[in-house]
């Protein structure tokens, strides 16, 4: 009798559940807001975004979940991740087990070195931001663009519009560059992986 | 009809949208996580529509300013979290006694004391009714989605104006800090209630007259009606009284203006309750987990339903008994150590088992935890 019901039930397949995780200040929450707004502006899918962070302004674990569905979204947080972005080793260690089998893992290889699987997309978002885009601040946008390329969840145009809407004044060019870098690097990576 | 615009709205901002829709033109507050975005939204939006935003020196001053602005005729609101609500409690009691309409938003975090600034909790549920001392009947509404946060905030203002009383909107950290793509209500789509003004002359006006429905028409200060307002127990003219024959009617008025019209206040959302043998009873963010759990369990044939309390106070005992009358068991899910579970217990006949499910570690109950509990009691 033990766990009979729990064995039978299934997490609804009509939910696409994504988590962006890192440390406070890396812009994980803002990245998910941009993604949710991009989807809301372009099509009829339902989107819920939620967040969890510590009392610190910077540092400490920070994660943000996005749930996307054609149907009404009841529970606002992820139950079994279809997608996970990790920007720190701490979030890798903490959330990898929430990713379902066959789920997509994207890793910032600048900061995460110990990865418990070979099946992931790794790009050095933080290094690319610092060295290629001109500011470490846009690492989240590079990651977001790469995610769009890898998952096909949102078009480049819609993403660009959503990013520019939320980007602070004076950072538009850096953000546009970040989007270019993210899409290009992810496309290269996909080619290498033969997908 | 043109398709409605879809916007991504933060829970706390949804509260601002609802308040402005309802006619709020004054906000005074002191920022506190996880409610700060309500103050930010009001600071941004109110000046655009001729309203006033004041950041006060603390929460005590905030609620005092809100009461004053309401007496002066503006629909007024403040938002805070547990620690701030505790500071406001004395003046909230003053608002009950002086029958001043206003809306107080509590975006709950963990407590007691400064507790957990960024973590979810529902441990101020009883405080919303029993915060201030004395006999009075509180009204508290609790939305569970972002759109409901808009509509329940509107309802809170309508109830405050209708009953001349403070109304608490009980949110929690998950509600305040999650976003959802929604379409905001169009102007005219939702009815707005404005306080009834006196029709008699200032000379004939009794500021605390015990009317047929106990609610006294309320002029704005400065409109020519001069009267006394005091937190001391007062007669119908507003003057302090020690006479037993005036004290009891005043307290009777405070209670019965609300309890006799409970049908206008009570609101519940029942999902899949018609043939339910077991029901989840919850409010706020937990209702979203409960609805998810119900949906999941129904797919494998479990006859379970979900009852969300959109009005928590006055407690909807009669309606819970009606809706859950056919159930064998109910599971009451809360993010606290059990604040409504005994109210549910006393609302239901003894042969319906009431099972508590409580989480108080700063995290929200998950659908799987609800299903685990369901499994236990099947």
Query: Could you tell me the CATH number of the domain that includes residue B308?
Result: 3.40.50.920
- Provide ipTM, 2 decimals: 0.92
Query: What range defines the domain where residue B65 resides?
Result: 7-182
- What CATH number does residue B117 fall under? 3.40.50.970
Mapped onto helix, strand or coil, the DSSP state of residue B306 is strand
Residues of chain B with pLDDT under 70: 1-3
B19 and B167 housed in the same domain: yes
Domain A15-193: CATH architecture, name and number where available: 3-Layer(aba) Sandwich (3.40)
Instruction: Show Cβ contacts of residue B1 under 8 Å, excluding neighbours closer than 6 positions.
Output: none
Cα of B166 vs its chain's centroid, Å: 9
**Sign of torsion, CA A32 A37 A42 A45?**
positive
> Is B278 inside a domain boundary?
yes
pLDDT at position A1, please?
A: 46
Q: Which residues of A touch B118 (CB under 8 A)?
A: 52-55
Q: Nearest-CA neighbor of B264 among B193, B325, B207?
A: B193
B178 and B288 housed in the same domain: no
Q: Order of strands, edge to edge, in the sheet holding A15-23?
A: A121-123, A99-108, A81-86, A15-23, A61-69, A46-53, B179-182, B7-10
Residue finishing a domain among B149, B182, B215? B182
CB contact under 8 A, B181 and A5: no
B294 and B177 housed in the same domain: no
> Is B207 inside a domain boundary?
no
pLDDT at position B135, please?
A: 95
CB contact under 8 A, B366 and A75: yes
- Chain B residue at shortest CA distance from A5: B375
Q: Which residues of B touch A33 (CB under 8 A)?
A: 8, 179
Q: Which token pair is B293?
A: 């759990």
> Is B242 inside a domain boundary?
no
Q: Which token pair is A145?
A: 């663009």
**Sign of torsion, CA B186 B189 B193 B199?**
positive
Asked if residue B80 lies in contact with residue B58, where contact means CB atoms within 8 angstroms, the answer is no
pLDDT tens for residues B156-189? 999 999 999 999 999 999 999 999 999 999 999 9
- Chain A / chain B CB contacts < 8 angstroms: 88
> Is B237 inside a domain boundary?
no
Residues of chain A with pLDDT under 50: 1
pLDDT tens for residues B20-79? 999 999 999 999 999 999 999 999 999 999 999 999 999 999 999 999 999 999 999 999
CB contact under 8 A, A47 and B292: no
Distance from CA of B213 to the nearest CA of A (A): 39
Residue finishing a domain among B163, B182, B201? B182
User: What element of type H or E holds A139?
Assistant: helix A139-151
Count of domains in chain B? 2
Give dist(CA A108, CA A92) in Å, integer: 10
B12 and B152 housed in the same domain: yes
Residue finishing a domain among B182, B212, B239? B182
- For tokens 């990865």, name the residue: A115
pLDDT at position A53, please?
A: 78
A49 in contact with B, Cβ within 8 Å? yes
pLDDT at position B2, please?
A: 59
B176 and B282 housed in the same domain: no
> Is B252 inside a domain boundary?
no
């Amino acid at each position: 009798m033990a766990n009979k019901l729990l064995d039978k039930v299934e997490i609804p397949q009509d939910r696409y559940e994504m988590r962006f995780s890192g440390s406070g200040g890396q812009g994980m929450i803002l990245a998910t807001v941009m993604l949710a707004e991009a989807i809301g502006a372009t099509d009829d899918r339902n989107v819920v975004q939620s967040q969890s962070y510590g009392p610190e302004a910077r540092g400490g674990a920070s994660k943000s979940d996005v749930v996307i569905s054609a149907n009404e979204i009841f529970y606002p947080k992820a139950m079994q991740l279809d997608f996970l972005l990790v920007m720190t080793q701490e979030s890798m260690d903490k959330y990898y087990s929430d990713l379902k089998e066959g789920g997509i893992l994207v890793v910032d290889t600048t900061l995460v070195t110990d990865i418990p699987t070979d099946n992931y997309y790794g790009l050095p978002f933080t290094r690319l931001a610092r060295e290629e885009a001109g500011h470490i601040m846009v690492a989240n946008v590079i990651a977001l663009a790469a995610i769009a390329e890898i998952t096909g969840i949102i078009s480049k145009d819609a993403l660009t519009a959503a990013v520019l809407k939320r980007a602070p004044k004076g950072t538009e060019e850096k953000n546009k560059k970040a989007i270019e870098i993210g899409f290009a690097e992810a496309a290269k990576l996909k080619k290498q992986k033969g997908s | 009809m043109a398709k409605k615009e879809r916007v991504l709205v933060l829970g706390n901002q949804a509260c601002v949208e609802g308040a402005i829709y309802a006619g709020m033109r004054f906000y005074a507050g002191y920022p506190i996580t996880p409610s700060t975005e309500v103050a930010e939204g009001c600071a941004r939006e109110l000046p655009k529509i001729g309203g006033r935003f004041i950041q006060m020196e603390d929460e005590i001053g905030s609620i005092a300013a809100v009461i004053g602005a309401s007496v002066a005729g503006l629909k007024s609101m403040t938002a805070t979290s547990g620690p701030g609500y505790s500071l406001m409690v004395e003046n909230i009691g003053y608002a009950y006694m002086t029958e001043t309409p206003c809306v107080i938003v509590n975006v709950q975090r963990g407590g007691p004391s400064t507790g957990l600034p960024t973590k979810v909790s529902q441990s101020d549920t009883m405080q919303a009714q029993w915060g201030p001392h004395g006999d009075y009947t509180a009204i508290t509404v609790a939305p569970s989605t972002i759109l409901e946060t808009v509509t329940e905030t509107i309802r809170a203002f309508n109830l405050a104006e209708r009953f001349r009383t403070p109304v608490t909107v009980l949110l929690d950290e998950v509600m305040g800090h999650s976003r959802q793509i929604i379409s905001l209500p169009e102007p005219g789509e939702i009815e707005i209630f404005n306080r009834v003004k006196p029709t008699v002359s200032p000379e004939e006006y009794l500021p605390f007259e015990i009317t047929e429905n106990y609610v006294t028409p309320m002029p704005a200060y400065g409109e020519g009606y001069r009267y006394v307002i005091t937190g001391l127990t007062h007669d119908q003219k507003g003057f302090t009284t020690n006479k037993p024959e005036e004290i009891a009617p005043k307290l009777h008025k405070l209670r019965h203006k609300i309890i006799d019209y409970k049908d206008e206040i009570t609101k519940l959302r029942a999902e899949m309750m018609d043939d339910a043998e077991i029901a989840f009873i919850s409010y706020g963010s937990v209702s979203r987990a409960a609805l998810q759990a119900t949906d999941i369990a129904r797919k494998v044939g479990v006859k379970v339903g979900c009852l969300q309390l959109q009005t928590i106070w006055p407690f909807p005992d009669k309606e819970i008994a009606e809706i859950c009358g056919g159930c064998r068991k109910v599971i009451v899910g809360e993010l606290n150590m059990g604040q409504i579970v005994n109210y549910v217990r006393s609302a239901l006949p003894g042969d319906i088992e009431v099972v508590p499910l409580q989480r108080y570690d700063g995290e929200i109950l998950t659908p799987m935890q609800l299903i685990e509990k369901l499994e236990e009691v099947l």
